Amino acid sequence: MKAASKRTALVAGGGGFIGGHLAKTLLERGFSKVRCVDVKPFDQWYQFHDGAENRVLDLRDIDACRQAVDGVDEVFNLAADMGGMGFIENNKALCMISVLINTHLLMAAEESGCERYFYASSACVYNGDKQQEADVTALKEADAYPALAEDGYGWEKLFSERMCRHFREDYGIETRVARFHNVYGPNGTFDGGREKAPAAMCRKVIEAQLAGTGEMDIWGDGEQTRSFMYIDDCVEGILKIHEGKFTDPINLGSSELVSINQLVDIVEDIAGIQLDRKYDLSAPKGVRGRNSDNSLILREFGWEPNTSLREGMAKTYAWIYDEIVSRYGAALPKARAATAAAQVEGSAA
């Protein structure tokens, strides 16, 4: 790789959770140009870095993609219309339309002579039949085929992975693909319907604590399992994979498997509270169990995500707590708790 001071990069989805953190790291590393592009207006970006060149563009449009890649050598595609289970189960068409973003970005990157292209895929590409038990066998990369991906969102990711492979094979652009397993951390979505379990659990515990309700709701029976990757590990992994020689899709996730009940135990412990748990069995649940087999990333990079869930959740909880209190102030508690309950009922309908 060239020295950082000679490198120029586009972070597509730079106003989002992972894109915002990645752009910060690229700037810290001394990239000569970091361009962040997102469809959201600036006031909705999770992070806004003055050192970056920031633009609002809809990357479903190929001309917008051409503007976005103009004058950069590397592309990180973190842009997608996505969210946690509450969003992807109820918005399959919207999730699939993100295929336009990756297709048009790849075309524009190839046309303009970009050297390297990173694509953010997902553990949702894996075959659902291999994720039916809470006591799941960790997923290895070969488990994506024969294909039975998460409906909507997972199929779009699987197709886009292959698009990257064919652009590399046919046109020589150096594509790299990571399959992220559920990523969490500060400066991400914690309400509004797109939030994933770690942030949702923090928010619900904080709201219950502030409102003094003594209870919280949990989707499913709480025994479903996942692994959760802290954002700093995600950014480190993205850069290793992007800069490395390994070209096939590769897992980027923690292998610390927990049930959702165990995740809630951790959050309650951080908050110093115990709540009555109300299980909503009709809410979106996704697969029963999912974990990341990290044999391949260990073999190729001698590294795997290693922030403990307890440590990462403590930082995430502290950030969400401050956001909720500063955003809504003392008037928050009861109103927010009522809104959250209505959202859960809405997404379960």
Q: Which stretches of the chain bind ligand GDD, using CB under 6 A?
A: 82, 84-86, 88, 122-124, 153, 180-182, 195-197, 200, 218-220, 224, 226, 260, 283-286
Report which of 165, 150, 50, 47 is spatially closest to residue 90, judged by C-alpha positions.
Answer: 150
Report which of 160, 78, 76 is spatially closest to residue 114, judged by C-alpha positions.
Answer: 76
Distance of alpha carbon 138 from alpha carbon 254, whole angstroms: 11
Nearer to ligand GDD among residue 68 and residue 216 (C-beta): 216
For residue 186, the 8-state DSSP code is: S
Span interacting with ligand NAD, options 107-115, 180-188, 240-248, 312-320, rule CB under 6 A: 180-188
Burial class from Cβ neighbours inside 10 Å (0-12, 13-18, 19+) for residue 238 reads buried
Residue 177 interacting with ligand NAD (CB under 6 A) = no
**Extended strands (E) in 107-214:** 116-122, 174-180, 183-184
Query: Is 153 an active-site residue?
Result: yes
Distance of alpha carbon 233 from alpha carbon 239, whole angstroms: 10
Catalytic residue among 46, 119, 126, 153: 153
160's contact among ligand GDD, ligand NAD, none, with CB below 5 to 8 A by partner kind, is: none
Residue 56 Cβ, how far from ligand NAD at the closest point, in Å?
A: 8
Distance of alpha carbon 328 from alpha carbon 326, whole angstroms: 6
Residue 49 interacting with ligand NAD (CB under 6 A) = no
Residue 76 Cβ, how far from ligand NAD at the closest point, in Å?
A: 10
Distance of alpha carbon 46 from alpha carbon 274, whole angstroms: 30
Residue 203 interacting with ligand NAD (CB under 6 A) = no
Residue 314 Cβ, how far from ligand NAD at the closest point, in Å?
A: 19
Nearer to ligand GDD among residue 33 and residue 285 (C-beta): 285
Binding site for ligand NAD (CB under 6 A): 13, 15-19, 38-40, 58-60, 78-82, 101, 120, 122, 180, 182-183, 189, 196
